[in-house]
Each structure stands twice: as C-alpha cells, then as structure tokens.
C-alpha cells in the first residue's frame, strides 16, 4: 500500500497486481473531515466502555478498538517505532513485576510503554530520521508532538493511570525549574518507563549512533542516576538483569503475551484509517502551534473534546467539562465591549441556526470567575452526506502567554539558574522555591500532609581542603551529592545550601521517618571510599525538623539548622532533631532570641586539664540510683531515678526517671580518627543534656528537677573557665 498526496487531495491506493494502482479513497483534506475522524474515535472509545465490549486482557484501561487503531497508526508511520515500543513494554513490565507490580497496574505500564511514543506519528521524516542532533526548533516540535499524543489519549478516554505514567515520563527525574509540580509527584511507573526506554534505545542502532554494549549502558545509566534517572530503579534493573540475565530485545514477541493479537498485520481498511490518523496528528500540531486550545461539541450539545489547551485557557479541568451539556451561562459569553450575548448569539447556537462558520473576539468567564479575552473561531463538522455531526471551537487568547514557546536554549538557562554549578543538584534559590510550594500545599489542604527538612553538613570539611586541596574537596562534594541522590527513593529533593551544607527536602515525611532517613544517609556517608585517596574518610552531621502550622521557609530551615548545630556541638557524625514543642515555638516566635526547651535542659561547660570524668561520675551514679544505658569513649548515657513496684504510680517528683547524657565532643572526634583541635593544656569541653522519661506532671516540675541534677553533676565534675584562644 502506498500513500500519495498533493496540497488538496489525499489518495490512498493499493496495488492492482499488474503494476497499476487503484484509488482506495479520495476526498479533500479539510478541517471538517480531519476532526470528524477524531469525533468517530472518541465515540468508539465511549461505546467500548460498556462491560460487554470490554477486553479482560486490557483491564478496562483502554478501548480495544482504539488500542488497535493507535498501534496501527504507529505501524503505518514507522514500523521501527512500534518495534521499539514493544521492546520497551517488555522491559518495563519485567522490571515492574520484579519490583512487585501486579495485575491491572502491570498491564497499565505495558500499555503506557506501547503508546509512549504515539506523538511521533505526527513528526516529519526530516526530524524523525535526522542522522544528527536536533536543533532547538526541532526539539520544540518533538516536545509538542509528545504532548499531542497525550492529548489524543485523554480524548480517547484512556485510563488516567496510563496518562499519568506517559506524562510524567517526559519530565526529567530531577524536577525542571519553573514548574508547578512537586518533584515527588513523578509516578514510579514513569521512572520505570524512562529507564526501560533509555536501556532499549541505547542497546539498538539509531540513525545518529551505534548500539552500545550491556555494561556500557549500565555505566551510562548509573552516571545519570539521581538526575535523569531514578537511581533506585537503575539499581533494580541491575539486580533484575544479574538474576535473570539480559532481556531478549530481538523484536520477537512472547507467545504468552495476552496482547499479541493486537499486533497482527493491519487490513487495508485499518491502514486507511491509520493514514487519516497521521493527518489528524499534523492538524492537531498546527492547532497547537497557532492557537491556545480547542473543543468539540456534538449535536446534542454534549462536550465531546476539551483539550489541554482549552483547560489552560479557560482554567476548567477536563473532568468538569467532558460529557456535560453545553450551557452558555457557564462560559459567560460577552462581546468585546463586555455586553453579554443572548443565547442565540453564542457561536454554537449561531452555527446550529445557519450552518455557517463563526469568528469574533469575545470575552468569556473562566473556571475561577475571571474574564478572559479570546479570538474564537467555530465551524461545523459536516460528514460526506452533508449532515452536521458536531461543532468545533478554536480559542486564541488576545494576550498570549509565550512561556510555552521558549527555546531549549532559554530553558537551559533556566536550568542553570536553578542548579548548583558544581554538584548539579538544586541550588539554594530552587530549594527555597520547592519549600515554598510544599508550604502552600500544606497550608491550603484540610488534610495536609506533613513534610520534613534535613540539614546536612560535612564534618571537618576545611581539613580536607587544607590537606588534599580544593580540587579533591570539590570531588568530595560531588560524590556526597550523588550519594544523597542515590539513597533517596521517596521523591526527596536534594539541594546544596552553601559550602559543604546540603538540604534534603522530604515530602510526606514526619520527623521520626526523617530521622531514620538521616541515619541511613549518615551510615552511607561514613562508609564512602575514594579510589584515588584510600585513606580519605568523611562523616556528616544532620539536623531534622518537621513543618508545623505557621511555618515560613525561614523558620523551617532555621529550626533544622539549630538541630544541626546541636549535632555539631554534641560530637558530630550524628542526627539531632527538635521536638514538636520546639517546632511550634520556633514557628510562632521565630524572630525572638533562642529559648530553652521546657522538656530539655542542655548545658555546655569545661573541666580542667587531666581530670578523669568516669571516676568522678561514680559518686553521682550511686547517689541518684542511676542506671547506665550507654558507656563508650566520649559518651555516657544514664537513667536517673527508678520505678517502684507500683510502676508509674509509685513515682514522686523527686524520683521520676530522667535521661541524662554526657558527651565529650573532642574525645569523640579523636576516637573517630580526626586530629585533635585543642592544645595539650586546653580544658575539656562537656555537653550535658537532660530529658524526661515519659511525660512529666508539669514542665515546671521537670525544669526544677533537671536544674538540681545539673547543679549536683557540676559539683562532681568541677567546671572551669575556658582558656582564651583555645579551639573547640
């Protein structure tokens, strides 16, 4: 079968067997006929939603006939693209199954993989098969084509899960700047699809490069893990391949694939329909380039099509518009002077009355009640029997937003403005923007989801620069950022706050879970090794805080910074967090001086040179009936006060247990292999923290008891003044 066309007529011809060609169909290629093909596709999708028409193998995710038609369109446009999609589907479903996906979700990711390149149906050969890097205009057209493919799937009533996977797969794993989506919103199915797509593409020859070997592909995926790809999905792919061997990507289909009958060769009639789809894509691309949105209303005044451009122009979600009955008062039609139009003067009613096209500049009311000025064109969709089937409306805002037409070069500049130049993670400005978005979401939803901030600081980083040089120091920061990205698998946002400080923003994470994440980060950092510097070791300290009502970006980050300071002061290489009471006070009194926590007493002081802490503590332990919980070089933790045979009921204010922790920060650092920063005659720094075990009867009673304990402890340890000029 051969497709030929001129500027006005489309001829689909078949071979007559003797070398001649016989016309299959021939008709003018006008807007009405092209959009009628879309109307028929949508109606077919709606009819197939009936249970008796459903295909159990498709799990009601997509109309069987629409699915077959879309696959035929890919086959007609470029058989290699369909084969690529089939191989990606095999990879994506295998990887998803390995990760525990089942049943309907597994089928959804397979269908998403098969249709993720649907937008290529409308891409010209000069771009689709270009044997070189695409220029900025070509890249922009490719991006628009992908979006048009998603548009068509939505019009065909494809399940939202498939739409979500395909849409999210066209975002980079590291969230692009300037968007409204939160990074953690990228669906796991999309992350799987991106990795499967990249692996398949790299394993086969392309017009612009040769195929790469398996090990080389994995190396490239790992190098881009945490930025372009989800590092945990890449690791899962490696484990899957290590366990079951590299997948067969030879283009053959599995006999046990229940969708195999959808891949059967297309009939002549199906190929004719596929040819029309190609023109539908091209037409939708033209609409997307020149206008801001379009809709189609059938003769019963039912909203049949409402594309993403119409959603953006009118600020009305498709779910609120599709299948509803068109009502002029909903859209608030008015002329360019603001005078409301009578129902008979509205574009739709005018076309039903006259059968003629319509064009005017109108004021309409969007979904938020705001006026929007549009150039509106409307025209009837007439079938070949000259019957009116539907009306199409095309919208163009009089004040167009050109942001969607920015070139890749401008986009690259925006990326540079949001990324740290050294580590390529988010910079401080982007972090603030992301926290601001999460705060808005937290404050605007009645069932708001908490999130947490983790402040990370590399310990003794200056000594690395001093000993090994700034080049090595920079490499340590790059590796530290990469480790944080690889160890993040729940949508965390990693950013460099400045110097050796990083922030991990954790959506949908309370403080307890954030502390556990911090500990995982801390242990991984402690285990880092550097091939060129085998003796180099690093540790990091962590401060954690959870959002509370009334928080601002500044108060939330400041609270995490205070927790980090506490971790630094109590020995480094540890995680500290502020209690909920601390958080609430910090949010509401952020501008005041630092206050003490009523449920924690913490003091730092010094003891004289040569004093031994443990012998001096023996009398204190005996006097307060203390139970030692932790005894290690540089740290002692004990419970002062004990329960009675009556449990909690036997406690008095003077015997209620409290937890007392003593830390010698400098000794801890020396035990971890860091050079001592104090002179031989320097006093020993001690940090003491006292907290209640359980909930005390009152904060005042706890404070009184804690202060008495602290005073008694000092009588045993005998604090001294810090000598001037001595480092800590």
Q: What angle do CA 211, 214, 219 make, to 5 degrees?
A: 100
**664 close to 684: Cβ distance less than 8 angstroms:** yes
DSSP class of 405: G
DSSP class of 425: S
Report CA-CA distances (Å) from 148 to 134, 307, 308, 407, 483: 19, 9, 9, 18, 37
- Give the three-state DSSP class for 221: helix
| Cα separation, 564 vs 491, whole angstroms | 22
| Cα separation, 228 vs 195, whole angstroms | 9
Residue 175: other Cβ atoms inside 10 A:
20
User: Do you know the residue count of the chain?
Assistant: 728
**212 close to 173: Cβ distance less than 8 angstroms:** no
| Cα separation, 696 vs 704, whole angstroms | 12
Of 404, 402, 374, 378, the C-alpha closest to 391 is 378
Using a CB cutoff of 8 Å and minimum separation of 24, what contacts does 517-520 make? 517/454, 517/492, 518/454, 518/456, 518/542, 518/544, 518/575, 519/575, 520/487
DSSP class of 402: G
Helices (H), 508-642: 511-526, 553-569, 580-588, 613-623
**390 close to 299: Cβ distance less than 8 angstroms:** yes
| Cα radius of gyration (the chain) | 33
Residue 452 corresponds to which tokens in the numbers above? 């947490």
| Cα separation, 685 vs 665, whole angstroms | 7
**701: CB partners within 8 A, 6+ apart:** 653
**278 close to 122: Cβ distance less than 8 angstroms:** yes
Of 627, 538, 548, 535, the C-alpha closest to 582 is 548
| Cα separation, 624 vs 120, whole angstroms | 77
**557 close to 453: Cβ distance less than 8 angstroms:** yes
| Cα separation, 231 vs 238, whole angstroms | 11
Residue 75 corresponds to which tokens in the numbers above? 């086959």
Report CA-CA distances (Å) from 397 to 138, 284, 543: 25, 18, 49
Of 178, 387, 451, 179, the C-alpha closest to 167 is 179
- Give the three-state DSSP class for 280: helix
- Give the three-state DSSP class for 28: strand
**541 close to 568: Cβ distance less than 8 angstroms:** yes
Residue 305 corresponds to which tokens in the numbers above? 């099509």
**177 close to 415: Cβ distance less than 8 angstroms:** yes
Catalytic residues: 500
**195 close to 233: Cβ distance less than 8 angstroms:** yes
| Cα separation, 380 vs 378, whole angstroms | 7
| Cα separation, 193 vs 96, whole angstroms | 9
Of 121, 93, 103, 99, the C-alpha closest to 61 is 103
**677 close to 666: Cβ distance less than 8 angstroms:** yes
Chain centroid to Cα 257, Å, comes to 31
């Amino acid at each position: 079968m051969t497709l030929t066309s001129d500027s006005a007529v489309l001829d689909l011809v078949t071979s007559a067997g003797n070398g001649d060609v016989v016309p299959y169909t021939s008709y003018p290629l006008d807007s009405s006929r092209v959009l009628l093909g879309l109307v028929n596709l949508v109606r077919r999708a709606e009819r197939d939603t009936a249970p008796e028409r459903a295909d159990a193998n498709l799990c009601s995710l997509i109309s069987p006939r629409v699915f077959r038609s879309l696959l035929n369109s890919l086959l007609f446009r470029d058989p290699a693209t369909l084969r690529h999609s089939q191989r990606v589907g095999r990879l994506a479903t295998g990887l998803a199954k390995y990760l525990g996906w089942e049943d309907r979700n597994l089928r959804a990711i397979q269908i998403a993989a098969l249709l993720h390149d649907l937008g290529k149906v409308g891409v010209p050969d000069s771009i689709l098969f270009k044997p070189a890097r695409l220029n900025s205009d070509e890249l922009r057209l490719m991006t628009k084509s992908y979006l048009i493919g998603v548009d068509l799937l939505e019009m065909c009533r494809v399940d939202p899960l498939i739409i979500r996977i395909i849409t999210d797969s066209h975002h980079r794993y590291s969230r692009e700047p300037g968007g409204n989506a939160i990074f953690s919103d990228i669906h796991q199915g999309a992350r799987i699809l991106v990795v499967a797509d990249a692996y398949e593409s790299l394993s086969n020859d392309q017009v612009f490069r040769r195929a790469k070997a398996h090990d080389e592909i994995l190396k490239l995926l790992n190098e881009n893990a945490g930025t372009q790809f989800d590092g945990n999905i890449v690791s899962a792919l490696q484990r899957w391949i290590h366990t079951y061997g590299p997948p067969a990507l030879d283009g053959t289909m599995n006999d046990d694939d229940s969708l195999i009958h959808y891949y059967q060769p297309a009939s002549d009639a199906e190929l004719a329909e596929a040819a029309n789809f190609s023109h539908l894509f091209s037409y939708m691309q033209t609409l997307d380039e020149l206008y801001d949105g379009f809709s189609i209303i059938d003769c019963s005044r039912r909203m049949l099509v409402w594309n993403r451009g119409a959603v953006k122009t009118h600020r009305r979600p498709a779910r609120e518009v599709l299948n509803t009955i068109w009502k002029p008062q909903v859209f608030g039609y008015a002329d360019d002077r603001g005078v409301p139009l009578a129902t008979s003067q509205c574009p739709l009613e005018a076309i039903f009355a006259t059968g003629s096209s319509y064009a005017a500049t109108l004021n309409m009311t969007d979904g938020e009640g705001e006026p929007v000025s549009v150039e509106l064109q409307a025209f009837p969709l007439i079938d070949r029997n000259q019957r009116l089937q539907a009306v199409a409306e095309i919208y163009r805002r009089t004040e167009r937003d050109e942001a969607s037409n920015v070139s890749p070069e401008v986009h690259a500049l925006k990326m540079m403005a949001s990324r740290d130049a050294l580590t390529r993670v988010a910079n401080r400005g982007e972090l603030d923007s992301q926290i601001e978005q999460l705060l808005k979401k937290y404050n605007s939803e009645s069932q708001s989801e908490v999130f947490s901030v983790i402040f990370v600081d590399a310990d003794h980083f200056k000594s690395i620069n001093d000993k090994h040089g700034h080049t090595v120091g920079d490499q340590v920061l790059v590796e530290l950022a990469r480790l944080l990205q690889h160890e993040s698998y729940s949508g965390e946002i990693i950013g460099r706050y400045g110097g050796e400080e990083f922030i991990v923003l954790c959506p949908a994470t309370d403080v307890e879970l954030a502390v556990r994440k911090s500990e995982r980060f801390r242990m991984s950092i402690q285990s880092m090794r550097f091939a060129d510097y085998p003796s180099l070791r690093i540790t990091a300290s962590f401060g954690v805080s959870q959002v509370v009502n009334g928080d601002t970006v500044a108060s939330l980050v400041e609270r995490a910074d205070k927790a980090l300071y506490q971790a630094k002061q109590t020995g480094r290489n540890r995680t500290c967090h502020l209690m909920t009471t601390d958080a609430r006070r910090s949010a509401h009194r952020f501008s005041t001086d630092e206050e003490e926590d009523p449920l924690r007493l913490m003091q730092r002081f010094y003891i004289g040179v040569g004093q031994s802490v443990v012998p001096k503590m023996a009398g204190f332990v005996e006097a307060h009936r203390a139970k030692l919980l932790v005894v290690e070089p540089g740290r002692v933790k004990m419970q002062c006060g004990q329960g009675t045979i009556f449990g909690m009921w036997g406690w008095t204010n003077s015997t209620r247990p409290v937890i007392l922790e003593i830390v010698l920060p400098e000794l801890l650092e020396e035990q971890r292999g860091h050079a001592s920063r104090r002179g031989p005659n320097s006093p020993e720094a001690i940090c003491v923290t006292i907290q209640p075990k359980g909930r005390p009867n009152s904060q005042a009673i706890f404070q009184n008891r804690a202060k008495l304990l602290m005073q008694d402890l000092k009588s045993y340890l005998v604090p001294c003044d810090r000598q001037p000029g001595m480092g800590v």
